[in-house]
A = this chain, B = another copy of it.
């Protein structure tokens, strides 16, 4: 397939995945964006900046190089969150697609500043342990290269805690909101949906039982590993 054809297909997938965000009630207004990377071709495709979902077309998807520079004539401006996506792609080598939303339940957890613990198997089926909440950015990190530093604090969080991005495909940025990722744009959107749902379930569980703690590690192992990796066997 030609380079142009591959990029056309990426645009189609990124477009469709972006449109799933309002369909799944994960965004209001223009509060979200999806991108995909092709490392061999050296391109990233991402949602354009500020275009309402109802008016968006496949051809408006923005193509950049691996540093986020526009590479097409007459391109729209890329989503301002591109710089965060670029950092994630650079450091998480197995990740092919990234999603950012302001979905209600994931934002409320990100605002709390707390990690999202695994209180049940719905969580464990997708996230192999707590979904971490980053530290707050410093004044300097916010004033200079804010969007890039948002990516950096995510990487720092995963490195410091020795979490593999393949095993925990999402993060909560303190005071801000969720980023998720996956092998394809649709899979990354699916992880946004699951993260939002698990945030809702966790909050309600804490209201019912104020002394709740994470599920035992053997149950976490079972649920995560029956669905992921070489011994996976599970489908509902």
Contacts and interface: CB of A to CB of B under 8 A. Distances in A.
Interface of A: 28-33, 47, 49-50, 77, 79-81, 100, 102, 104-105, 107-114, 119-122, 136-137, 139, 142-143, 146, 175-177, 190, 193-194, 197, 200-209, 212, 215-216, 218-219, 222, 226, 233-236
A23 to B, nearest CB: 12
A226 B143 CA distance: 11
Copies of this chain: 4
Nearest to A124: B175
A120 B50 contact: no
Contacts of A33: 236
B235 A177 contact: no
16 contacts: A29-B193, A32-B236, A80-B226, A80-B234, A80-B235, A100-B236, A104-B197, A108-B201, A108-B208, A111-B205, A113-B212, A120-B175, A142-B219, A143-B222, A175-B215, A203-B208
A156 to B, nearest CB: 17
Contact of A235 (B49, B114, B137, B234): B49
Nearest to A80: B234
B236 A108 contact: no
B107 A120 contact: yes
